[in-house]
Structure 1
Amino acid sequence: MSLLNFSSDIFLAAFFLYCFGFIFYAVAVAGARFSNRDPKAHLQRWGRISFIVSLLGFLCHLAFFITRWIGGGHIPTSNMYEFMTFLAMAIMFAFIVVYAIYRKPLIGMFTLPLVVVIVAYAAVFPQEVQPLIPALDSYWLKIHVTTAAIGEAFFGVGFALGLMYLLRTVNFKETGHKARKAQRAIEMVMLVGVILIGFLVSVFAFRAAGYEATFSQETVRISDSGVESSEIADVTYTTPPIFKPYNSHVTSMDSFLGMKDGLFETPHWMKGVDAARKLNTIVWSIISGLVLYGLIRLVIRKPIAAVIQPLTRAIDPDDLDEISYRAIAIGYPIFTLGALIFAMIWAYEAWSRFWGWDPKEVWALITWLYYTAFLHLRLSRGWHGTKSAWLGVIGFIVVMFTLVGVNLVLVGLHSYAGVD
């Protein structure tokens, strides 16, 4: 247990080092823009400090991974908490590889926030070491999950660089129809980012306040022979229940704005793991994100993208386009091996079939086909620049839906995750 406690402490240290790394990258980029002495020297000095701090965070993260593996008895990638922490570590690894090649501090300024958000998102899920279910008790867990996550990590770096390209090239001073359309599109991406932050704000704010609501839910099942059976279980919320579980009633509820019951019932067709609580959390995320976005806009009085854009002017957009493509090109064969080939071999070993149209399998295939199309359009049709950047941004949204959204709205053999 002491080793697992150390693992948790070192992981917290990694999180804060990532936060400081992002701050130092922001200082490096912003300071170079406004420095009156030697902007290049300032960028190099703070960029070096930022990279060292980020690297220390990665080493702490790696120590967390190893100690949790030893303390838990199996590789820590078997549930959503463990997988998301590994994905964040893999993105840091991909960033270190890309940064070592190109030495552009701006890459860190856009990649580190992605890592911080994913780490914070992981903390929403139960953090206890859980015994492996029979289907996961295989050496293929190490091979399949790690290679798939590393491929997705390079897609994440490609996303960050594609977003940088869009911010660098969109002209917020133009007023034409095409320019306005581009401005609204990139601002929508900013809004999605703020909603993700709103997700973290709502979850941790209510958790810090100790909010809790409990429902008793009855689940009715009908067997193939037509025999009906029911099961009653308690479902505990840590955010006020805008959407309560389907076919449930209140057992206990803390006071919040006079609510005495859930406002709406979760649709019966949402059968993912803890779907009601996840839907409720997402609704709170959107509400919190929209409020936060409104407050930010009220303070800065212009689009968020327009405020960030000046920081990107020091980098060549052609470099961003090329680095984004190369990151995705590195991730594609790794993802192909991990998410498709190794996954099918493991599926045959576990379930005696290579393919079963499980929702996560289908969306892994959709993700692979998407990036296959990306590479085809890039290499054969000449889709460079803005088109390529948008494909990179949208592609990672597909990845995140495959990882998170499928568990919310669908149920299948890969639905192992819970929500704290």
Structure 2
Amino acid sequence: MSASLFYITFGIYLAATACYMIYLAKPLAQTGKLARWLITGGLAAHVLFTLLRYFEAGHTPITNLHESLSFFSMAVVAVFIYFERKFKIIVLGSFVTPVALLLMLVSSLFPSVISPLNPALKSKWLVIHTVVAFLGYASFAVAFGAAIIYLMQERFLKQRKISGLFQRLPSLDTLDDINYRCLTFGFPLLTVAIISGAIWAETAWGTYWSWDPKETWSLITWFVYAALLHGRLTTGWRGKKAAILAVIGFFVMLFTFLGVNLLMPGLHSYK
């Protein structure tokens, strides 16, 4: 049952992404409304899939790459819906929903079999650490989408292309504000995730920090976003510089999440 819901969710996300892309090309109110209904329905199906998976597995379904990529995708959609409703910018979905869709696609490539839970994962910290981390990651994904649009708009302005797509995208100030709001939402969550992970590590392995590849790259990710936040608050980093750093931070975060698991075996490796 949960497997069917996974692919139903994927199909709805695919349809929603297509609608957002059509809206980007031709912003009709009906298309935008349909896209919003589809992405909301997709999130509902995704939550139901996650709940069913929970009851099938007997634990929170975030213990292998199939589950964690799916959960990451769900978090991206949830955080996107929040910011899309807050700023009322439908076109943001044209740049964020493809990320959620791609995460689901990659998730489908990994085994979905439910395996016995590793003893180290049998802890209350599993939910606290991972859910907080994924919400932080999701906010960085939305910031990434806003940053890509910002860089496009900035380029259009430099080239004096102020018609067509330029007129369908939000203003630079609005995009910069979204970037900042996502950063101030995601960075504290990432900080809590790292701290809770250290506490969990001490109970599981007897040490708060072991410089495991995942720990090291999580710290690198934290420093990237800390530098961006510090720059914005103290030296006035805004606009293009902030957008570029948001893009860099997103790819560093992706490597921390997925690349480390696949390329750097360690205590946190799982497939």
Question: Is residue 326 from structure 1 mapped to residue 160 from structure 2 by the alignment?
Answer: no
Secondary structure of 1:93 counterpart: helix
Q: CA deviation at 1:173?
A: 8.1
Sequence identity of aligned pairs in percent? 37
8 Å Cα contact 2:64/2:270 also seen in 1: yes
Instruction: Check 1:336–1:173 CA distance in 2 against 1; reply closer, same or farther (3 A cut).
Output: closer
Counterpart secondary structure, 2:270: coil
Aligned length: 269
Letter in 2 for 1:53: L
> Does 1:13 pair with 2:13?
no
2:208 to 341, 354, 359: 354
Q: Render the CA deviation track for 1:145-199: whole Å, top value 9, x for unaligned.
A: 111111100001001110111111114985xxxxxxxxxxxxxxxxxxxxxxxxx
Letter of the 1:365 counterpart: L
Cα distance in 1, alignment partners of residues 164 and 220 from structure 2: 36
Q: Scaled by the length of structure 1, what TM-score is found?
A: 0.62
What whole-Å deviation, never above 9, does each CA across 1:246-299 have from its counterpart, x for those lacking one?
xxxxxxxxxxxxxxxxxxxxxxxxxxxxxxxxxxxxxxxxxxxxxxxxxxxxxx
Query: Which structure 2 residue ranges, 5 or more long, are not aligned?
Result: none
Aligned to 1:130: 115
Residues 168, 313 of structure 1: 8 Å contact kept: no
The alpha carbon displacement at 1:311 in A equals 2.8
Shift of 1:45: 3.0
Q: Which amino acid aligns with 2:20?
A: Y
Taking the aligned partners of 1:345 and 1:129, their CA distance within structure 2 comes to: 27
Residue correspondence of structure 1 range 244-393 to structure 2 within 5 A: 310-314=164-168, 315-338=170-193, 340-393=194-247
* Aligned match of 1:58: 43
Deviation at 1:409, TM superposition (A): 2.8
CA RMSD of aligned residues (A): 1.8
8 Å contact from structure 1 (residues 155, 396) kept in 2: yes
TM-aligned CA distance change 1:164 to 1:173, over 3 Å: closer
For 2:157 and 2:83, locate their aligned partners in 1 and report how far apart those are by CA, in whole Å: 29
Cα contact 1:378–1:384 (8 A) shared by 2: yes
1:30 corresponding residue in structure 2: 25
For the 8 Å contact 1:344–1:354, the answer to whether it is kept is yes
Residue 312 of structure 1 deviates from its aligned partner by 4.3
Structure label with greater radius of gyration:
1
Q: Distance in 1 between matches of 2:166 and 2:61?
A: 37
Q: 1:416 aligned to 2:270? A: yes
Q: 1: distance between equivalents of 2:38 and 2:207? A: 46
Q: Is contact 1:14–1:57 with CA below 8 Å preserved after alignment?
A: yes
More strand by share: 1
56, 70, 73: which is aligned to 1:88?
Answer: 73
Distance 1:322 1:334 in 2: 19
Q: Give, in whole Å, the separation in 2 of the partners of 1:50 and 1:147.
A: 27
SS in 2 for 1:170: helix
8 Å CA contact retained: 1:374, 1:388: yes
Deviations 1:25-75 (A, max 9, x none): 22223223xxxxxxxxx3x33222211110000000000000000011111
Q: Post-superposition shift, 1:24? A: 1.3
Distance, in Å, in 2 between the alignment partners of 1:403 and 1:310 is 37
Residues 164, 312 of structure 1: 8 Å contact kept: no
| 1:106–1:312 CA contact under 8 A, matched in 2 | no
Asked if the contact 2:198/2:208 (under 8 Å) is kept, the reply is yes
Q: Deviations over 1:189-237 (max 9, x none)?
A: xxxxxxxxxxxxxxxxxxxxxxxxxxxxxxxxxxxxxxxxxxxxxxxxx
Q: Distance in 2 between matches of 1:13 and 1:311?
A: 32
Partner of 1:357, secondary structure, is coil
Write the distance in 2 (CA, Å) between the matches of 1:79 and 1:406: 14
What amino acid is the match of 1:401? F
Aligned to 2:82: 97
Partner in structure 2 of residue 140 of structure 1 = 125
The ranges of structure 1 where at least 4 consecutive aligned residues each deviate by more than 3 angstroms after the TM superposition are: 171-174
Distance, in Å, in 2 between the alignment partners of 1:351 and 1:343 is: 11
The answer (yes or no) to whether the contact 2:262–2:269 under 8 Å persists in 1 is no
Among 144, 147, 154, the residue aligned to 1:162:
147
TM-aligned CA distance change 1:312 to 1:136, over 3 Å = farther
Bigger fraction of residues in helix: 2
Flag the 1:99–1:172 CA change in 2: closer, same or farther, 3 A: closer
